[in-house]
Amino acid sequence: MDIREFICCEKARADGFRLLSACFYQPEKDVFLKEGIFKNLASLLQQVSPDASVFVGEMEKSFSRYSEKDPNEDYAKLFV
């Protein structure tokens, strides 16, 4: 692996961690879906860890099934 490939891989990893950390913010369903957080995270993880990208798709399916109220209640129970 040359230095350019290494830098590209590390940038994808950093961006992936940034998006993964966004999953710990108070959930706003429309923002998560409009910003494409799950799709972007899956794309970045595909480069760094293809096995992990499969789980992001499952996260998105689960998240989209819930109403706006449900994730906020779970967030409050977990972090407040």
* Res 70: pLDDT: 75
Amino acid at 79: F
- The share of the chain scoring above pLDDT 90, in percent, equals 18
Cα 29-39-20 angle, rounded to 5 deg: 75
Output the pTM of the full model: 0.73
- In order, the DSSP letters of 4-15 are HHHHHHHHHHHH
* pLDDT over 80 at 1, yes or no: no
Query: Average pLDDT, whole number, for the chain?
Result: 86
Report, as an integer, the average pLDDT of 54-61. 88
